[in-house]
Structure 1
Amino acid sequence: MAFPVPAHLPRRANPQDVSSEILMKIDQATNQTLTASLATSWLAELEATIQATKSHIHDRIHVDLPKFEQQFESSKSVQTRLQSLASNVDGLSHTLSDPETGLVPTLVRSLTAHASLAQQSADATVRHETLSHLLRCRTEFGSVLSLVQLGKLPQAVEACGEFEQMFRDAPAHLHQTNVMVDLKRKFQATKSRVEEQLSEAYTRSVTVSPKYLEILPSVVVRQSDSVLSLPDVLSSLSTNSLSSHLATLRRDIMTYYVDHFLRQPTSLTVSSDTSLTIFPSPPNSEDLTTRIDNVSATLKFLSTHFMVSLPSSEAHTFSRSLCKPIVTSVLTNLLVPSLPSSFDLLPQFLSLSKHALAFEDEYVVQLLGDDKSDRPIKAWVDGMGGHYERQRRVQILETSRIIILAPESAPDRFLVEVNDKMPEVVPVQSEEGHDASWGFEDEEKPVNGGAADDGDGWGFDDDAEPKSAPAAADVTPAPSAATEDVEDDGWGFDEEETDPAPDPQEPPATNGHHEPEPDAWGWNDDDAQADSTEDTVWDDPWSDPPEKPSAVKNPRPPPAPSITPNTSLSSPASTSSPKMATRLEKLANKGKKHLNGSSPMSSPALSTPISSSPKPTPATPSLPPPPPPATVKSPEKRPPRLSTSVAVPKEMYLVSGRVRQIINIVEDVLIEGRKFAASKILPAIETSSPPGTVLLQSAASILDLYRALYPVKFAGSLKSAQDAPMQFSNDCLYLSGEIARVEGAARGDALAPVKDRLGECRHRLKILGDSWFEDTVEQHRQSANDTIARGAEGFTFTADQDRYDECESAISRAVQEVKRLAQRWKGILNKSKYYTAIGMVTDAALSRVLEDVLALPDIPEVESHRLSELCRILHGLEALFEPFVVAYVPSWLKFSYLSELLEASMVDISYLFDSGALVDFEVDELVGLVRALFADTALRTNTINKLTGGRP
């Protein structure tokens, strides 16, 4: 039963032939449809198809019958020939392959017999060759053993070479045989024994030790009577063994006989022409040329006794291999370490260098055969000047580095006198019949001796003219306005003096002046110090004139002029009642009369002397002193007579001992550099810079090293200690002045190679010293400002006792801080800079108080009294400046007036404003202060309108 094809599968194409169609029909038939008639029909159809095919074939044949018959005959002929060929092939196969008579089996049997005979012949030949070669190897090996036993090592080496050739020529089949492997093992052992005996003979012939060098011309082989010469031993050694021995010999020669000779004193002794013996020599009277002679003797000994025994190829290579190490050792161990550290030792060193040049030419170039164009010793000697300068620079900088990094030593410090090269000519106002309240008396005393000598260590004496200070740093004042022509510049010399309106409450005074009031400042005391009409007070310490037109000037304005525009009147720090207007009026009149009715503060160069007196405590008002005798006013007022006086007071400041050592080194280096440049003992070479340039520039490098190392090494002390920054500033300024002195002392172009660098170092040290001074002062100014700002918190609510205590504590801390700072700086800075620095710190504290008090919107009566008391605490700082407080504290007069204005009446304020006493205050400040102190009344309004209307 046929398998039913699923409907979804593709169907087979219909068959084209009859048999296929019948088979399809048979396949489609089932048990129900298959019948005899159906099968008969299939047979009939098949028969009909067969008949039709036959008929078709027959028709095709008869269509071309002749051709068919021809092809038919041809096929029968082919069949006949095929049968004949098959029979012939069968006969030939029998002839070839028949086991008995066939050709192939017979040939195979013959070839097999021939191959067997050939193999037997080859085996016999190989056996013969093998035995013959082994016999020769045995004979040769026996001869090698006999030579070794007799101690004939050179012949044994040659026999070993021949035996090795026999090994190489041995048949290939012998290489891996047991007998050949065993023979090779025995031969290698014998060869190694020969190498060992040769090495042992070389070791006994050439002996190198730290004490002696021995080279024997011949040696006896151990365990034999044979004697070997050194050339035979060296030529018999293998290439590797000889290279190893020569490398060891070269190392020992360099270590024991070249480096050792060049490093320390030794003596050589040649004994029996075969050995060199070394003896240590005392170094006391040693000539360094002896060391080169010892090396020369060693090389000559080697050349005579050893190098002639070497093979020619090895002798040249060995001698050339010694050239570079020997030359390097001469430079490293002798010439460079012996390079003198002073110019005076150079001539002696030149003889040593010439001896080294002769050694290089005779022994290194000629004896050892080095290249003539490569002569390191000659090149080094030609550049010896540069080597000397560079080595000296290293030594100088190392010495300077040790000095710079050494710990601080207080006993090494010394005082230096300030040397003013350009004294300032100060115009001094000379007027007869001046007001006695300014402290002028008939007797003349110099300003620098105005106060009694308190032994403060400033180093001042009573002489009017300063003594010349040796090698001191130059602190030169800047040109001030006083040195120029005096014109109408606001001094009021050309204006007519007018007397102030007399107060009806006061009795008339002689000569138009009011009678002096009891003054809390003590300006009318009998012991007030007078100022000479020809001497001036302290000059402006910042008024330094430039040393040269090209020098960089200090861009800062003078921080502490003698008299600033804010110093119109003396400080009336009175402790009287705020209602006592008469004393303030009389104080203003005194100042106004003396100053010729105008503000005399327009020129900062004018130095107004102010006598000093102790200040009373805020709680105790001062008692009025007896009035001074009245002075007669001159009937004719003329401009004050100007007298010029050169006042250069001596001032001292403290300098570290290390900077004196540094400047001494700099001077020594410059002297050595000039001497070196002027000398002609060294060979002249073409270089980009003349001789001595490196040495001269080392002087500037010392200063650069100081600027670079000191602030880093001592950074901790510069930050923590109060005196360390000022000490460093003094040191830098001292070095700057000393460099200027050294430059000025040089003649001609002696310092031309380093002149620019020295000028740059001087300028940078000056900037560094000034910067540290200014930064330190600014740091303490900020500290004083912050102390008052954080503690007082604007001086508000001082009526409360707790707040008042806090403000009082803050001001007291600021005062103590300034006083402690003054104690630390007084022994370090010169007097002018000391007053300037302390004055700037004090001014910062006063300015903080002024700013906070003037910013208060309302000041009740109780707070005004307490604020005045707080201000008087700062008056204790006046003792630091007597009698120069106004000159160095710009805010002092303004601050002093503030403490009085806080307790003054509106009449006092109005009168002082009219008299020009309050020029330090801005109009807005005065208006704000009046509004804060007084209630809103018509009088306050009129006073404010008067203030805002402008100054008279």
Structure 2
Amino acid sequence: MSTNDQLKQAIVDSVEHGAYPEPDVSSAELPSTLLPSLLADLQKARDEVKTDIRSLSKDIAPDVDGWIAQAKKLQADIERSKATARDIVSQAEAGKALKEKTHDAGNKVRLLEKEVAFNESLATTLDLIRSSCRILDSADQAYNANDLRAALDSIKQCDRSMLSLSAAQDTRAVGLLQTRSSRFKATLLDKTTALAQSLIQCDIDARSVAIEHNVKDMSDVDLELVVEILTYLGGLDVYIRRLKRDIEFSLIDPRLSTKPGQYTIYQVEDRIIRASKTASNPDTIATLDDIWSALDFLSTRLPKSVCEPLSQKLLPSLFETLTYTWLDQTVPVQIDQMPVFQHILDRVSKLAEQIDALDWASTALLKDWVQGAPRTWLSKRRETALGAARSLLFSGLRDRKTVERVETQTVSKGDAIMGGNDVDDADDAWAADWEEDTSEPKAVSTEQPATTTNDDDDDDASAWDMDDNDTNGASGTSAPAADGEEDDAADAWGWGDDETATEEAPKPASPKKTTKSHGPPATEQSTPSGDRELTLRETYTVTAVPDGILEIVMKVVSDAETLTDPSYSGSPIGPAASALYTLPTFILAIYRATASTAYSKLDTGNMLIYNDASRLADQIRTFVARQSEKDGSSTLPSHLRPSSRLRLDNDIKALETFAKRAYSAEMESQRTIIRDMLDGAQGFSNCNAEPFASACDSAVSITEGRLRDVHKQWAPILSRSALLQSSGSLLSTAISKMVMEIEEIQDIGEEESVKLRKLCDKISEVKDLFMQEHPEGGEASDMTGIYCPNWFKFQYLGELLESSLADIKYLWTEGELRLEFDADEVTDLIEALFSDSDYRRKAIADIRRS
């Protein structure tokens, strides 16, 4: 039906059924005169529409009938479809019910099948349990009959049978069966272990091991069967560990013991080996032979199933004990014992080959020991050398001896040390100009070379060593550094201490200085060029340590030189030759490391360290020089010569530094003590009034006593020049502190001035320590001014304390006071000593102008 037809049909239906209602026109909305006419028009229009509709309906009526017929046919088809659908639904319901019946039937079938399978499995399990029980019964019968082979076979069969019961292992019946089987295995294992111990008997008390092949009264049971049972039951590893321990206790430990009176050797009989006592200690070769005898005995009489696991546990501990208790002890220290050591190495190598032939555990430990023989020997040689050095360091301090130092220097006529062309004048100038800046003398020959190294870290210089940058007197003592670059040497002797800040220049000759001084004994010899050779000789005390250390070093170098000889090219320790040249460094290092501890027990320990270390440095230097001369004629290649391999220059410098530091530490300690003693004077103020007077007297007195005690203590140790320089340094410390504190006093009365002069004189009494006898029996010389830099200043200070203004002015203008004091110091003293007056002001002005 088209859209137009549908529209027409809708209109007809609407008109016929009154879809268009009559309009409701209210009179209130239209005038009353028009209402009737309007209603009439509407009714007329309505009638016309109806007429048109009827006419239209007649035209389309045939089509409508066709439509109705089709609709009815469609309705019939729909009814037939519904009937068919109802049939299908009913059939589906019937199939579902049938399917449920089929599913229920299948479940019943599967249930029956499971019940059948369970019954069959239960029957099979019961059969297996019954069979296993019967097998265990037969195993028990075989065990009771001592038929261990049958028992083993039965337990194996039982295990296979019980393996099939793994699905039912959680059941009580199978659990009881497993418990029974485990108990039987434990019983069988205990019996088998006991049989194994009866076959392999280790008697610790008798130190023997006996091996039988069959068990008595059980001819069918042999060692192989016992091992097989132990292996199957998992007890072999435990038994092997126990057997290894018993063999060690009964055989290995007694044989390898090195305790005196417990020496043994092996004796092998038919089926027994024992460690029998012997009176003498067997050598290493015999020990290695016995070890092989024991191992061969075990490998021959024990089955392979025992030997292999036993060797894996026994050999490592055996090789370790053999190495540390025997082989390492046989490593010789002396080279002349090398042939015997070579024989031992060959025997150890052979032993390793013999064990390897048995297909036992690895013999790598023995082979490594043979290959590491050079390293082992070097370690023992190093240990011996260092041990000897340590022992010497503590035992050699008791032995002391006096040694002489000889040094020859060539001095030209123009050198300031000569003091002029005349020989006698030169002798006078040598002592008088000790501290003046002179040209450096050239050393010609030295029997024991002087120390020439001046380390930057040194606090003190050598007491009589020649410094490269310093002026050296004929006695070989060090003077202050002239170039100002290094002041350590000066610090060592107290020159340049903090308390000597008033000293600004070297001290020239003073009116109070003796006119002729002498240093250590010296001999003179003129050369063709007119130069003079001065030979200096001094004695000092050392211990036995330096000579002993030198002997150890020389022995090490000698051994190294021997090993580099072509005749030792095949020696087992030949490769260790090059490493031997490092031992001297270790020896000298251990000396430096332990010396402080060893010498600390001695009152003069630091000074002995100074002497010993200095002498040792000289000896090592001389030894190296002689070795170089010796190598000049050697046929060895240059790189193999000892002189080219020894690297001892740094060690020599370290020894010299060590000596200087020991000396510096002792000097600083003594300086501190002296300063502390003088602190008791409380600055010397009011020194004429109690209790300050007593304090000043006491401080000065104990300081003077301390200087003498230290001098007396050091006198047997140090050389004469070193002793005088050391004592002079301490005296310089004392008088520097006194000068500084007296100059700081603002007002000094007459009585106080006299008191201060007496205190200065008290300290000055120690000058008798510096008196030196003339070698030709002449008048003794006062060397105080030479060894104590501020001595003359101190003497001038004592004079100034009791001098008049005129005397002070005269000493300044005409004398040499200005060489010791500066103008400010003198004017400060004048202001403290004298009251203000025109004369004082005039004197001060004259002094400042001059």
**One fold, TM greater than 0.5?**
yes
- Of the three residues 870, 880, 897, the one matched with 2:759 is 870
Q: Does 1:885 align with 2:776?
A: no
Match of 2:323 in 1: 331
Matched ranges for 1:438-449 at <5 A: none
- Of the three residues 595, 606, 617, the one matched with 1:736 is 617
Instruction: Please tell me the residue identity of whatever aligns with 1:385.
Output: P
Q: Does 1:427 align with 2:413?
A: no
* Moved beyond 6 Å, runs of 4+: 62-65, 83-97, 103-124, 428-434, 467-474, 479-483
Match of 1:756 in 2: 647
Change (3 A) 1:942 1:220: same
Change (3 A) 1:888 1:291: same
Checking the alignment, whether the CA contact within 8 Å between 2:560 and 2:581 is kept in structure 1 is yes
Checking the alignment, whether the CA contact within 8 Å between 1:811 and 1:874 is kept in structure 2 is yes
Match of 1:390 in 2: 379
**Shift of residue 123, structure 1, vs aligned partner:** 8.1
Q: Distance in 1 between matches of 2:108 and 2:822?
A: 146
**Shift of residue 392, structure 1, vs aligned partner:** 2.0
Q: Distance in 1 between matches of 2:794 and 2:113?
A: 140
Q: Distance in 1 between matches of 2:92 and 2:838?
A: 168
Match of 1:356 in 2: 348
TM-score by length of 1: 0.63
- Of the three residues 731, 743, 747, the one matched with 1:842 is 731
Instruction: Please tell me the residue identity of whatever aligns with 2:150.
Output: Q
- Of the three residues 416, 424, 436, the one matched with 2:402 is 416
Match of 1:154 in 2: 149
Identity %: 19
Checking the alignment, whether the CA contact within 8 Å between 2:477 and 2:721 is kept in structure 1 is yes
- Of the three residues 457, 478, 498, the one matched with 1:542 is 478
Q: Deviations over 1:252-271 (max 9, x none)?
A: 44554445434444222222
Q: Distance in 2 between matches of 1:829 and 1:924?
A: 40
Match of 2:512 in 1: 571
Q: Distance in 1 between matches of 2:194 and 2:72?
A: 109
* 3-state SS in 2 of match to 1:427: coil
Checking the alignment, whether the CA contact within 8 Å between 1:383 and 1:685 is kept in structure 2 is no
Match of 2:414 in 1: none
Q: Deviations over 1:411-467 (max 9, x none)?
A: x24232331232576637799999xxx999xxxxxx9xxxxxxxxxxxxxxxxxxx9
**Shift of residue 899, structure 1, vs aligned partner:** 1.6
Matched ranges for 1:348-497 at <5 A: 348-361=340-353, 363-368=354-359, 375-404=364-393, 412-422=398-408, 427=418, 477=466
- Of the three residues 242, 245, 264, the one matched with 2:236 is 242
**Structure 2 unmatched ranges of 5 or more:** 1-56, 412-416, 432-445, 452-461, 496-504, 520-529, 632-640, 772-781
Aligned residues: 709
Match of 1:269 in 2: 267
Q: Does 1:302 align with 2:293?
A: no
Checking the alignment, whether the CA contact within 8 Å between 1:736 and 1:765 is kept in structure 2 is yes
Change (3 A) 1:65 1:834: farther
Match of 2:709 in 1: 820
Q: Distance in 1 between matches of 2:101 and 2:422?
A: 167
Match of 2:801 in 1: 902
Change (3 A) 1:184 1:708: closer
Change (3 A) 1:233 1:469: same
* 3-state SS in 2 of match to 1:832: helix
**Shift of residue 836, structure 1, vs aligned partner:** 0.7
Q: Does 1:652 align with 2:540?
A: yes
Match of 1:533 in 2: none
Change (3 A) 1:428 1:332: same
Matched ranges for 1:496-895 at <5 A: 539=475, 541-542=477-478, 556=490, 565-571=506-512, 608=517, 646=534, 648-653=536-541, 655-659=542-546, 661-678=548-565, 680-681=567-568, 683=570, 691-711=576-596, 723-746=604-627, 748-749=630-631, 751-752=642-643, 755-757=646-648, 759-789=649-679, 791-793=681-683, 795-798=684-687, 800=689, 802-882=691-771, 883-895=782-794
Checking the alignment, whether the CA contact within 8 Å between 1:659 and 1:731 is kept in structure 2 is yes
Checking the alignment, whether the CA contact within 8 Å between 1:220 and 1:227 is kept in structure 2 is no
Q: Distance in 2 between matches of 1:95 and 1:832?
A: 137
Q: Distance in 2 between matches of 1:109 and 1:858?
A: 137
Change (3 A) 1:398 1:85: same
Match of 1:633 in 2: none
* 3-state SS in 2 of match to 1:365: helix
Match of 2:847 in 1: 947
Q: Distance in 1 between matches of 2:95 and 2:706?
A: 143
Change (3 A) 1:696 1:554: farther
**Shift of residue 868, structure 1, vs aligned partner:** 2.2
* 3-state SS in 1 of match to 2:201: strand
Q: Distance in 2 between matches of 1:915 and 1:86?
A: 160
* 3-state SS in 2 of match to 1:420: strand
Checking the alignment, whether the CA contact within 8 Å between 2:406 and 2:535 is kept in structure 1 is no
Structure 1 vs Structure 2 CA RMSD: 4.9
Q: Does 1:228 align with 2:221?
A: yes
Q: Distance in 2 between matches of 1:391 and 1:948?
A: 76
**Shift of residue 292, structure 1, vs aligned partner:** 0.9
Q: Distance in 2 between matches of 1:399 and 1:329?
A: 27
Q: Distance in 1 between matches of 2:141 and 2:448?
A: 101
Checking the alignment, whether the CA contact within 8 Å between 2:401 and 2:544 is kept in structure 1 is no
If asked which structure has higher relative contact order (CA below 8 Å, sep 6+), I would say 1
Match of 1:205 in 2: 199
* 3-state SS in 1 of match to 2:630: coil
Change (3 A) 1:917 1:471: closer
Change (3 A) 1:817 1:151: same
Change (3 A) 1:148 1:93: same
**Structure 1 unmatched ranges of 5 or more:** 1-58, 98-102, 441-446, 448-466, 484-536, 546-551, 573-590, 595-606, 611-641
Instruction: Please tell me the residue identity of whatever aligns with 2:346.
Output: K
